[in-house]
Amino acid sequence: MALGPADPERMGNYRIRGRLGAGGMGVVYDALSDAGRRVALKVVHQQYADDPDFRARFRQEVEAARRVSGAFTAAVVDADPDGPRPWMATSYIPGATLQHRVAERGPLQGQELRSLAVGLAEALRDIHRAGVVHRDLKPSNVVLGDDGPRVIDFGISRAADRRTLTTTGRLMGTPPYMSPEQFVAPQEVGPHTDVFALAAVLVYAVSGKSPFEAENAYVTAYRVVHESPALGGLAPDLRRIVEQCLAKDHTRRPPVAELLERFRILPADGYGLAPGTPAPVTGRRRLRKAVWVATAAGTVLAAAAVGAVLASGPLSPRHPRTADTLGSHTPSSPASLLPKGWKAWDRRLPADHSGFVLSRGGQVQQHTCLTSAGRLYCGGNGIAVSRIDPGTGRTVWQRPQKEVVDALIGVSRQDTVVTVSGTSDGERLRGYGVEDGRQRWSADIGSAGQGGIFHSGTSDLLLGQSWDEQTFVAVDTRTGRTQWTRRVSRTLSCAPYVLDHRPYAVCDPGGTSAGGPNRTAIFALSAGTGRPTGIIDEPHALELMRAQGDRLVLLKSDDKTLDVTALLHVDIRTRKVREVPLALDNNQHCTGMTATVLYCVSPNGDVSAIDAATGRGLWRRATLLADLTEPLIPAGPDAPLYFAAPGGSVLSLERASGRVRWRTEPRGGFGGPPPELALIGDALYERYGYDRLVTLDVRHPPTAA
């Protein structure tokens, strides 16, 4: 395209000859160096160049792009991120973008589509090996060169080491190719995010449109998070791969290495549309629409417009909450984020008829109820293992138990609900299918504690202990078979923890009390073998609060009083520890944490927010509700906090200020285990008393007088 009057003639040592394209962040020019080398030179728009946050993101983009090299990526040859108008030059790749190719000549089929799939998977492999997540893979960022596809434009990529640069209230990306976690849980963006985008790009290559395409960016965002992709007509083998890559739960998507092999072994005639499917109509009219979507949606979206897309998680204390979706439902508008057929209900959960009500206590990842992929499951503490319809409260299925089920442990990527129960000989694990509740397997294990589910390649394993508190086992959640057994320590008593889908052992001398000797050793366990690697070993009582990438956050307690005195930020790779002193009241208990804020509660109902980086108090609020649970923290910087109290009261606080948004009256049933909370969209679920489960719409709660 010809240059306009506002286009520069030179940038650095490059003479600009014409435009190659433009987007929400900047303009890409065809340029020549003084030595005659042809490059694609990206220049940031002036309004963003004047934004310090954006300039920092662009500087990070340059750093990330320099680390990426491969046969299917465009190399960075020069850059000036600190100039009056920041720019970056990459090697020029002759060829049309995938977007232009499909618009001009129609969809790809056969060997051409196979080359695209394999090439993009190889490009992502190289990008991820460099520690980078692209985050904006789309048809206009794929150039079809003579020697294969090339991935270009690391416009909003970031290092996978979790160095985040965000702006409150803004989401960045191109909605038709963004993943659900980019909308509801940006902190969970990772290589799996690019896998989702790759699948969406392949659907575009076959059909001429995104699997979530809609009339505007906001409806598209809603479809990405909550609705099934439009994949009609794809050849069966290709469709199976694409469906897995587009899983709402990112833990269910195949890793790039596996995806690359599957693309390689799939024959060329397996790529494209199923036999008899009419070819989609494309052309310049669709190109103009696609350009509008990529440009308008690729700029900044207000987080408030999608902020109601809330994360779900287990109804249990101290469990890492992950993004969840509502599954299949059709609300009247994107503003209505409730499960299909939802109405307010309060019901008694089905009993297991054991005559016992247990509360194990002390274990971190066992629940009476939990949610996964928009489904709701309950069991344990006298409740039969059952699946509950989140909209109506009816029992979808339940399984009678001959023995007491202590708790649910989790749901694996293989769609298996895992439970643990006590027997005369120790503990027994069981796996049930999520759809029909049929028992898939049963496994007798030891009598020590059980942790959560973690990932080992494409397998999901349960972390538990054998007959003592020093030997750990990993059980395959698909088959119930033990994958490995590993002794972690010969002198310490250890407990199993799973955070951020990784296994850990937290060990101490056992039986330590205030005024006695304290010591805590934490080990990272190899997912494949269980081999322990020491992370920290200190003469203090430590509590594992949060895992985020290669960083652990721990609470440190006073050796004599066991009062919390500091936060420890630990780099898993280097073992470096940064200590942040905390000044807490003696009765405050810190129960929840985001990447930046620690939340603490007092028995009298006071809630405090503390800056995790500095230890500075942000706010403190008296709620008038005693014995609050830990906060349920939905994704999104502006989403509120939710707490529960004995008797069924629910409390919502503004995250930024601690202001009370609303508070519900007690429902009765003050006995039983502590209450538990979870969200599915705008539906909040509370298990309270011994066997009650209630739901309410967080937009219209029944507030207290």
Look at residue 174 in the predicted model and tell me its pLDDT.
Answer: 82
For the cut 80, the answer to whether the pLDDT of residue 53 exceeds it is no
Beta bridge partners of 346: 694
Q: What is the DSSP secondary-structure string of 126-187?
A: HHHHTTEE-----GGGEEEETTEEEE---TT-EETT------TTEEES-GGG--HHHHH-GG
User: How many Cβ atoms are within 10 Å of 348's Cβ, its own excluded?
Assistant: 12
Per-residue pLDDT band at 388 (split at 50, 70, 90)? very high
User: How many Cβ atoms are within 10 Å of 213's Cβ, its own excluded?
Assistant: 20
Per-residue pLDDT band at 669 (split at 50, 70, 90)? low
Pick from 317, 379, 374: nearest CA to 349: 379
Dihedral sign computed on CA atoms, order 311, 352, 365, 411: negative
C-alpha distances in angstroms, 149 versus 146, 234, 577? Answer: 8, 21, 43
Mean pLDDT, the chain, integer = 80
Q: What is the DSSP secondary-structure string of 318-363?
A: T---------S---SSTT----TT---EEEEPPB-SSS------S-
Per-residue pLDDT band at 614 (split at 50, 70, 90)? very high
Please check whether residue 505 is in contact with residue 516, taking contact to mean a CB–CB distance below 8 angstroms: no
Instruction: Give tens-digit pLDDT for 328-386.
Output: 222 333 345 889 899 999 999 887 754 443 333 333 345 788 888 889 999 887 788 99
Q: Between 49 and 133, whose confidence is greater?
A: 133
- Distance of alpha carbon 351 from its chain centroid, rounded? 33
Q: Which domains does the chain have, with CATH numbers?
A: 1-92 (3.30.200.20), 102-159+169-309 (1.10.510.10), 353-445 (2.40.10.480), 446-581 (2.120.10.80), 591-705 (2.40.128.630)
Q: Between 144 and 381, whose confidence is greater?
A: 144
Instruction: Give tens-digit pLDDT for 435-489.
Output: 999 999 988 876 667 788 999 988 999 998 876 778 899 999 999 999 999 998 8
Specify whether 34 is catalytic.
no
Rg (the chain; Cα; Å): 26
**Residue 245 CB-density burial (10 A; 0-12 exposed, 13-18 middle, 19+ buried):** buried
Q: What is the pTM of this model?
A: 0.56
Please check whether residue 463 is in contact with residue 496, taking contact to mean a CB–CB distance below 8 angstroms: yes
Q: Tokens for 135?
A: 């985050």
Q: Between 216 and 616, whose confidence is greater?
A: 616
In the 8-state DSSP scheme, what is residue 702?
-
For the cut 60, the answer to whether the pLDDT of residue 48 exceeds it is yes
Please check whether residue 347 is in contact with residue 398, taking contact to mean a CB–CB distance below 8 angstroms: no
Look at residue 319 in the predicted model and tell me its pLDDT.
Answer: 34
Per-residue pLDDT band at 133 (split at 50, 70, 90)? confident
Beta bridge partners of 378: 369, 386
**Beta pairing class for 383-388 and 170-172:** unpaired
* 487 membership: H or E segment, kind and range: strand 482-487
Q: Tokens for 530?
A: 């269980």
Question: Which entry of 7, 30, 34, 136 is annotated as an active-site residue?
Answer: 136
Look at residue 154 in the predicted model and tell me its pLDDT.
Answer: 63
- Distance of alpha carbon 35 from its chain centroid, rounded? 46
Look at residue 704 in the predicted model and tell me its pLDDT.
Answer: 65
